[in-house]
Amino acid sequence: INHIVHNGGLYKRPFNEAFEETPMLVAVLTYVGYGVLTLFGYLRDFMRQWKIEKCQNATEREEQKDFVPLYQDFENFYNRNLYMRIRDSWNRPVCSVPGAKVDMMERVSHDYNWTFTYTGRVIKDIINMGSYNYLGFAQNAGACQEAAAKVLSQYGAGVCSTRQEMGNLDKHEELEKLVARFLGVESAMTYGMGFATNSMNIPALVGKGCLILSDELNHASLVLGARLSGATIRIFKHNNMQSLEKLLKDAIVHGQPRTRRPWKKILILVEGIYSMEGSIVRLPEVIALKKKYKSYLYVDEAHSIGALGPGGRGVVEYFGLSPEDVDVMMGTFTKSFGAAGGYIGGKKELIDYLRTYSHSAAYATSMSPPVVEQIITSMKCIMGEDGTTVGEARVQQLAENTRYFRRRLKEMGFIIYGNEDSPVVPLMLYMPAKIGAFGREMLKRNIGVVVVGFPATPIIESRARFCLSAAHTKEMLDTALKEINEVGDLLQVKYSRRRLVPLLDRPFDETTYEETED
Amino acid sequence: QWVLVEMVQAFYEAPAYHLILEGILILWIIRLLFSKTYKLQERSDLTLKEKEELIEEWQPEPLVPPVPKDHPALNYNIVSGPPTHIITVNGKECINFASFNFLGLLNNEKVKSAAQASLKKYGVGTCGPRGFYGTFDVHLELEERLAKFMRTEEAIIYSYGFATIASAIPAYSKRGDIVFVDEAACFAIQKGLQASRSNIKLFKHNDMADLERLLKEQETEDQKNPRKARVTRRFIVVEGLYMNTGDICPLPELIKLKYKYKVRIFLEESLSFGVLGEHGRGITEHFGINIDDIDLISANMENSLASIGGFCCGRSFIIDHQRLSGQGYCFSASLPPLLAAAAIEALNIMEDNPDIFQTLRAKCERIHKALQGISGLKVVGESFSPALHLQLEESCGSRENDVKLLKRVVDYCMNSGIALTQAHYLEKEEKCLPPPSIRVVITVEQTEQELDKAASLLKEAAQSVLN
């Protein structure tokens, strides 16, 4: 399925998203693969139960053996038999700043991933394509780090109180004004954790008698927030505007399920960039629908803030729309700003309400001061207020890297999902064995990638995911691409049946980029 | 002649089309017998025009209702500078009796320099969740140190204190399980319970007889349906030192109930970690209980350790499960390394100076005694609890008026140099809303003169405002 919408009314730039279909043979082989693994899983469980094989799980205490078992055996079947085999691809310990190159502690397992031991060696200078470092602000030197160090020595690391009690520092007020200015909204409020921003504020905005329309592939924090609110949740197909419109129409015409009373309000939950698919939300169409049906829009820009748009202001700027059209703009500081925490921006009434009734303001500790300072400095850098053009250069560099990397991968013949402009690049692997193999082979060649399988993705659509960064130079990308090419040939993951015609072999320079910009 | 023979004869003699028609009718009857009952679809009989009219007419509520300008929770106190022992609130310099900085580690130079070293090495953020290159060696070290300190097998860290218990409970307790929880449990526990969708049974605060009654009722229920009882997990969730009431939970009786009725105990120790016990290990050390008897201990590092985040500790059998099913762990970025380094250094200080706990407790006793006898205000909380509440002895009728009255007391104290705060709650969301109160927090840094000054100032304030 290939959607290219050129200047069709609402879109001011081409919206090019592609999700190539799974080849039939590959799908069948993947299912066969999972079937074989499940059979072996049953066999091993049988052997463990009959003590033929040693059971290496931790077990319940002797005194509590007659309590109701804490875990059902079947729940952990997937864990024990499939996840455990390739467990070394995740939770890799890092021991340096997570920039473009990272150092990792070497770990080995002598009992097939049940336990790990650290050899003490450090693998240096691994090209990091797994950390969410879109604008390269994960640095341990430079203006941001120095400012954070100064604030740390002045304020200390913790705060020890909630926002409503004694934890509202002048730094927090400064940050909130800056965030509001950055986004172009009336005011903003910040929280200590991005996940908690969603799960604690959606319940404050909607309650029983309201309707939430949420995208199929929304993040766990949005799903948790929607559930905790007590509102009715309806799901529309991923990025599918016809599905959303149908749900909106039905909701307004028929009202609440059995009583037929009209809904109090309707909230649409979408994300800016979906991190597993690499797709960008069709914001112009969503806003048009929202206006037509008088509902409210909540955009979670966790991955898109700083990464999209010519000024790094996120998905709203990318489409050239006004921030006033989005009722609640939420985002996190973890990805593009190299810090931690989340924010919500919107009209002043909204933020006043959240300051009074948000769960986080009343019960959770406020953000740590050095983290706040890091956000302030990096945000000023992106806006150009620190007097340099470093921020602007980084945003442009990220966009260049994205286009180059995606184009080269498609030329090589891999199946890549998602929008052309999204810095999250999923590469399809499909088969369970290739998940582990891809991760390990890339690590042998000194490149760190993230591989994901079930349950974060549908069972046959396992993938490797690359996160590009403005800190990656062209040499690093070329090295990575060469290695990916090798590993792709070795593992035979070049499934794409549409060969893209490679652009004319001209050197990639400034003029090339300006042509594709509008 | 036999009727059967006649029938068979007629069968042979019937014309072909007759047989075929009969055959079809029989098949049709069989199909009707076995087909599902015909469901009426949700067919609306509205025309397109009517639908459009309905869409035109519908008016939603505003996204948020307006908040009155004088709402007590709307205007925050602005603290300029660090929230340490001497704090500048709204421009006035005061002695800090409101931040949970029990061991005074917020301003400690060693902690700050450890955090600085970590900042120079790692930068600020971790740029990823624990599963995807967000696990740093400082996190692993902090987890090991916490497990060693609490003398358990394993510990797991979260990057936000609230999310710790709110993610831990739904990882184990699912729909259909039963949780017995104290009425005065804090909001984070309530949210964790709500997310778990289990059956919640509240028992009266610290009332073991009430809890035993509920457990007995559950036992009789189980006998009616033993198959279901064999797969229903049961948990008791209690706090070591309750944030809302300042008193301690009777842990030895709870352990007896645990083994008698086969229920697991989850203990939330945010206030008691680093406060109770000879070495600060919390309520288990205070009562001298074997730590393996408690299934899960959860605490946040934002009070005694003066950092950010939280941790859970217990046996590997229990803790390891959260690494794949704790929502706040798997789907959220990990703790910034400088905060983890600050926590490690704070733990070092706690281990090297075990006498600060005794000092803290002595100070708590002192002020507890000094605050007795204030006319109009009563002290709520144990004598060794570092966070106590001052509630109005008699309410003036409505909660709003009580809150306003307490605010005047707090303002009087702030103007004279003691920073206090009221305990803030979300009134509509709490299950059992505690009465309005002033929160008094005792830290190790406060001198005896300051404690006495605070007590006498509160007496004065109560005199002038409440009489």
Whether residues A68 and B333 touch (CB distance < 8 A) is answered with no
Residue A364: closest CA among chain B residues belongs to which residue? B162
Nearest residue to A134 (alpha-carbon basis) of A405, A373, A386, A472: A472
- Provide the pLDDT for residue A126: 92
Q: What is the pLDDT of residues B259-287, one digit of tens each?
A: 999 999 999 998 999 999 899 899 999 99
Give the bridge partners for A169, in sequence order: B79
pLDDT greater than 90 at residue B297: yes
- Given a cut of 70, whether residue A6 has pLDDT beyond it is no
DSSP-assigned beta bridge partners for residue B92: B89
Q: Print burial letters for B287-296: b (CB count within 10 Å at least 16), e (below 16).
A: beeebebbbb
Mean pLDDT of A156-171: 89
The sheet with strand A328-332 has its strands ordered as: A187-191, A342-346, A328-332, A296-300, A266-271, A211-215, A232-236
Contact assignment for A362 to B65 by CB distance below 8 Å: no
d(CA B368, CA B226): 50
Residue B39's pLDDT is 64
pLDDT over 90, % of chain A: 59
* Window from A61-75, A104-118, B133-147, B259-273 with minimum mean pLDDT: A61-75
> Average pLDDT, stretch A73-83?
82
SS3 of residue B203 by DSSP? strand
- Evaluated on CA atoms B183, B186, B187, B188, the torsion sign reads negative
Tokens of B29: 């009857």
Strand order in the sheet with B418-419: B79-80, B86-89, B92-96, B418-419
Assess whether pLDDT exceeds 80 at residue A53: no
Confidence band for B116, pLDDT divided at 50, 70 and 90: very high
Does position B461 have pLDDT exceeding 50, yes or no?
yes
Q: Kindly report the nearest CA distance between residue B112 and chain A, in angstroms.
A: 6
State the nearest Cα–Cα gap between A327 and chain B, in angstroms: 8
Residue A18 has a pLDDT of 79
Nearest CA in chain A to B261: A67
Identify the pLDDT of residue B148. Answer: 94
Mention every residue, 6+ apart, whose C-beta is less than 8 A from residue A120.
A106
State the best of A193, A266, A366 to mutate against chain B, taking most chain B CBs within 10 Å.
A193
Q: Is the dihedral of CA A80, A83, A86, A89 positive or negative?
A: negative
Q: What is the mean pLDDT of residues B319-323?
A: 90
CATH 3.40.640.10 at A143-383, yes or no: yes
Q: Rounded mean pLDDT of B57-77? A: 87
The confidence score (pLDDT) of residue A518 equals: 35
Choose the weakest-confidence range: A62-71, A283-292, A300-309, B254-263. Answer: A62-71
pLDDT, position A349: 92
The pLDDT tens digits for B31-60 are 988 887 666 665 657 788 888 888 888 888
Question: Which residues on chain B are in Cβ contact (under 8 Å) with A145?
Answer: 119-120, 123-124
Count Cβ atoms below 10 Å from residue B247 Cβ, excluding itself: 17
CB contact under 8 A, B136 and A95: yes
Cis check: omega of the bond before B435, within 30 degrees of 0: no
- Average pLDDT over every residue of A222-227: 94
Looking at the partner chain, which of B106, B194, B421 has a beta carbon nearest the beta carbon of A165? B421
**Res A381 pLDDT > 50:** yes
Beta bridge partners of A118: A107
Residue of B nearest to A456 (CA): B331
pLDDT at B142 over 70: yes
pLDDT score of B43: 60
Q: Do A158 and B292 count as a contact with CB atoms less than 8 A apart?
A: no
| Average pLDDT for B8-19 | 83
Model pLDDT, residue A7: 43
Nearest Cα residue in chain A from B115: A157
Q: Is the pLDDT of residue A209 over 70?
A: yes
Identify the sign of the CA torsion A360, A363, A368, A373: positive
Q: How far is CA B319 from CA A40, B165, B297, B324, in A?
A: 27, 13, 10, 10
Average pLDDT, chain A: 88
Whether A34 shows a pLDDT value over 50: the answer reads yes
Mean pLDDT, residues A466-495:
92
pLDDT for res B41: 64
* Residue A160 to residue B306, Cβ atoms within 8 A: yes
Which phi and psi angles does B419 have, rounded to 5°? -90, 120
| pLDDT computed for residue A49 by the predictor | 83
Instruction: Give residue B42's pLDDT.
Output: 59
For the cut 70, the answer to whether the pLDDT of residue B1 exceeds it is no
The pLDDT, as a whole number, for residue A141 is 87
For testing contact with chain B, the best of A90, A160, A367 (most B CBs within 10 A): A160
* Residues A306-335 pLDDT 10s: 999 888 899 999 999 999 999 999 999 999
Q: What is the mean pLDDT of residues A409-417?
A: 90
The reported pLDDT for the residue numbered A1 is: 44
Cβ neighbours of residue A50 closer than 8 Å, sequence gap 6 or more: none
Kindly tell me if the per-residue pLDDT of A503 is higher than 60.
no
For the record, the structure tokens of A385 come out as: 């207020």
**C-beta separation of B67 from B74 below 8 A:** yes
Phi, psi of A127 (to 5 degrees): -70, 125
CATH of domain A20-128+389-497: 3.90.1150.10
Q: Which one of B46, B124, B179 makes the best mutation probe of the A interface by having the most chain A beta carbons within 10 Å?
A: B124
ipTM of model: 0.90
pLDDT band with cut points at 50, 70 and 90 for residue A3: low
How much is the mean pLDDT over chain B?
Answer: 90
d(CA B193, CA B189): 6
| Number of CB atoms found within 10 A of residue B66's CB | 9
Assess contact for A343 and A191: CB atoms under 8 A.
Answer: yes
The answer on pLDDT for A155 being more than 80 is yes
Rg (CA), chain A: 24
Indicate whether A58 pLDDT > 80. Answer: no
pLDDT band at A173; cut points 50, 70, 90: very high
Q: What is the pLDDT of residue A81?
A: 87
pLDDT in tens, B157-204: 999 999 999 999 999 999 989 999 999 999 999 999 999 999 999 999
Rounded average pLDDT over A154-175? 90
CB atoms B60 and A296 under 8 Å: yes
Q: Which residues face B440 on adjacent strands?
A: B388
Is A468 part of the contact surface with chain B (CB cutoff 8 Å)?
no
Beta carbons within 10 angstroms of residue B263's beta carbon = 22
Chain mean position to CA B320: 20
Q: What is the mean pLDDT of residues B97-104?
A: 90
Sequence-distant (≥ 6) Cβ neighbours of residue A155 within 8 angstroms: A169, A171, A369, A370, B81, B82
The CATH number that domain B124-352 falls under is 3.40.640.10
- Kindly list the domain boundaries of chain A, sorted by start residue: 20-128+389-497, 143-383
Query: What is the CATH number assigned to the segment(s) B82-106+354-466?
Result: 3.90.1150.10
Tell me the domain boundaries of chain B.
Answer: 82-106+354-466, 124-352
- Cα separation of B90 and B93, whole Å? 8
B193-232 pLDDT tens trace = 999 999 999 999 999 999 999 999 999 999 999 888 888 9
The model's pTM is 0.89
Q: Which of A153, A253, A339 sits opposite B112 (nearest CB)?
A: A153
Q: Which residue has the higher pLDDT, B246 or A9?
A: B246
Judged by DSSP in three states, A360 sits in helix
Which of 12-51 (A) contact B at CB < 8 A?
none
In chain B, whose CA is at the least distance from the CA of A261?
B58
Q: How confident is the model at residue B395 (pLDDT cuts 50, 70, 90)?
A: confident
Q: Which pLDDT score, from 0 to 100, does residue B44 have?
A: 58
pLDDT of residue A514: 37
| Contacts (Cβ under 8 Å, ≥6 apart) of A333 | A190, A194, A339, A340, A341, A342, A343, A371, A375, B125
